[in-house]
Amino acid sequence: MNVCFFGAISGAEMAMIDNGIKVEPGSGAAAASKYWTENPGDK
């Protein structure tokens, strides 16, 4: 898992919040973490 993706996702969330889009802070990063944990790339 690449930690850089968390920064990008969090940045996108912050940009959406700054522009009035209702986003739960951390929800995207949490969903990505759950997905990457359940779907490791080394299968």
The residue type found at 37 is T
- Judged against a pLDDT cut of 70, whether residue 11 lies above it is answered with yes
Contact present, 37 and 14 (Cβ < 8 Å): no
Model confidence pTM above 0.75: no
d(CA 42, CA 24): 31
Cα of first residue to Cα of last residue in the chain, in angstroms, is: 13
pLDDT > 60? residue 10: yes
Q: How far apart are CA 40 and CA 43, in angstroms?
A: 6
Share of the chain above pLDDT 90, in %: 60
Q: Mean pLDDT, to the nearest integer, of 26-33?
A: 91
Alpha carbon distance 9, 20 (integer Å): 17
